[in-house]
Amino acid sequence: MDWTIQLIVNIILSFGGFLATLRAIPGMGHLFIRANLCGVDMSKRQSKKIPEAMGIVCGCIYLITIFIFIPIPFGTYIVFSQEGFPHEKFVELLAALLSICCMLLLGFADDVLELKWRHKLLLPTVASLPLLMVYFVTFNLTIIIVPKPLRWLLGFSLNLGPLYYVYMGMLAVFCTNAINILAGVNGLEVGQSVVIGLSLMLHNLLELGGPLRDTHLFSLYLLLPFLGVSLALLYHNWYPSRAFVGDTYCYFAGMTFAVIGILGHFSKTMLLFFLPQIANFLYSVPQLFHLVPCPRHRLPKYDCETDLLHMSSTSFQLEALPWPGRLFLRVCSTLGLVRLATSEGEGGITTCNNLTIINLLLKFSGPMHERSVTIALLAFQVLCSGVAFVVRYPLASLFYDV
Ligand code: UD1
Ligand code: MG
């Protein structure tokens, strides 16, 4: 079957996924509340229960959409007994779905059982194993082309061998957790995923005319239904949220991106679309690794008098911190990247803003309304995607022979 027809069918099914998710989320909300899968919006005056873990609804509709789509590209080979069934592509698709499905299950387990941080690091690694196995059996290309400025040192190409598999496993851990820690204001988790998804879609569309058309087509088949269900979730999660996405959605989104990057062989380009998440992760490192105390929630502080969000902070004795934590805070404070305040007197208590780029935005802008915080951060995400496209296309010739 012609690939344009396949793409059109995929677009129609994705739209169906969008409509189904749009209806299912409000329809199933009361079931989630009854099962105690709900949370309180910490940045609102009233403390109403809001259904949580709605990512599971999205994920299930996503899987159903893809299951219905599978016979379109592959069924014609069977029905018309055509030669050359693309076994490798088929097994790649099944492994991709298995990894996404595993991650959905593990994310849901996290929402229900509130797992510890060490498990959150382990789960995506385990869920990516089927995918890495298939990569090993089908493609197994572990050679990377060295960027031009480093060729004098490393040569033209480098075979990373098993290290390449470690990199791909870590990619899944990064994508899933990076979305989950840039969170806490209405619409941000799913909003950032939609911007990353749209950027990847644009990249795939730009490459459709090139030599790797089949690979990019394959990635579009996985991406468009994802965008369909995510846009519907965004509608319900937008300020003021009627549904929370839960860790289930963050893991589902992160794994979908990792799968697309790995099987599409453009994981470096994909990471370029994660610039705000990389910045947030690097800024968060001292709290994530407990060099600076990390409270359960780092989302901004809500002032119910003014209905605005302020920076949230955490207090501790600076001298009691490990030296890398102290060094980080002193350097960042000098650069104006954290707000440190120490109370007078011996053994004074130091207060420091929680280390997320959401708080950093509020440090520079002053108190903001929740909706404006989300819009500002999503605008930043779009800007970074623009930068990523410039690096990937016009500037690529500085690094690679294109
Ligand atoms: C991550 C962050 C945590 C942040 C939380 C918010 C790290 C290490 N962890 O934790 O700092 O506070 O996400 O999602 O950075 N909520 C809102 N408004 C929203 C979204 C969530 O009030 O727009 C609250 C709700 O009470 C909801 C809860 O956050 O129930 C969900 O938090 P959860 O996803 O369980 O937190 P983590 O992912 O563990
Ligand atoms: Mg979360």
pLDDT for 130-145, tens place per residue?
Answer: 999 999 988 888 888 8
373 pocket-lining for ligand 1 (C-beta < 6 Å): no
What's the rounded mean pLDDT across residues 248-263?
96
Q: What is the pLDDT of residue 347?
A: 72
CA angle in degrees (0–180, nearest 5) for 241-245-246: 125
pTM, entire model: 0.96
377 pocket-lining for ligand 1 (C-beta < 6 Å): no
Question: In the structure encoding, which two tokens stand for residue 14, read together?
Answer: 């994705």
> CA-CA-CA-CA torsion for 134, 169, 205, 226, nearest 10 degrees?
90
Q: Which of ligand 1's atoms lies nearest the C-alpha of 295?
A: 11
CA of 184 to the centre of ligand 1 (A): 5
Taking the CB of residue 6, how many other CB atoms lie within 10 A of it?
A: 17
176 pocket-lining for ligand 1 (C-beta < 6 Å): no
Q: Are 255 and 176 in contact (CB under 8 A)?
A: yes
Between CA 176 and CA 161 the distance in angstroms is: 24
Question: In the structure encoding, which two tokens stand for residue 255, read together?
Answer: 């794994």
Taking the CB of residue 285, how many other CB atoms lie within 10 A of it?
A: 14
189 pocket-lining for ligand 1 (C-beta < 6 Å): no
Q: Which of ligand 1's atoms lies nearest the C-alpha of 40?
A: 26
Q: Are 227 and 194 in contact (CB under 8 A)?
A: yes
CA dihedral over 25, 31, 36, 40, signed as positive or negative: positive
290 pocket-lining for ligand 1 (C-beta < 6 Å): no
Alpha helices in 114-212 (DSSP H): 117-138, 151-154, 162-181, 188-207
Q: What is the pLDDT of residue 343?
A: 83
186 pocket-lining for ligand 1 (C-beta < 6 Å): yes
Between CA 138 and CA 219 the distance in angstroms is: 17
Q: Are 91 and 134 in contact (CB under 8 A)?
A: yes
Question: Per-residue pLDDT tens for 329-387?
Answer: 999 999 999 999 988 776 789 999 999 999 999 999 999 999 999 999 999 999 999 99
Q: What is the pLDDT of residue 346?
A: 67
- Lowest mean pLDDT: which of 78-82, 119-123, 392-396? 78-82
Q: What is the pLDDT of residue 66?
A: 97
Q: Which of ligand 1's atoms lies nearest the C-alpha of 244?
A: 20
111 pocket-lining for ligand 1 (C-beta < 6 Å): no
The pick from 56, 190, 239, 297 for probing ligand 1's pocket by mutation, whose C-beta has the most ligand atoms within 8 angstroms, reads 297
Question: Per-residue pLDDT tens for 22-75?
Answer: 999 999 999 999 999 999 999 999 989 999 999 999 999 999 999 999 999 998
- Domain coordinates of the chain in residue numbers? 3-273, 289-402
CA of 251 to the centre of ligand 2 (A): 9
184 pocket-lining for ligand 1 (C-beta < 6 Å): yes
CA of 166 to the centre of ligand 1 (A): 29
128 pocket-lining for ligand 1 (C-beta < 6 Å): no
Q: Are 378 and 195 in contact (CB under 8 A)?
A: yes
CA angle in degrees (0–180, nearest 5) for 30-52-360: 145
Closest residue by Cα to atom 30, ligand 1, is: 39
Question: Per-residue pLDDT tens for 311-343?
Answer: 999 999 998 999 999 999 999 999 999 999 988
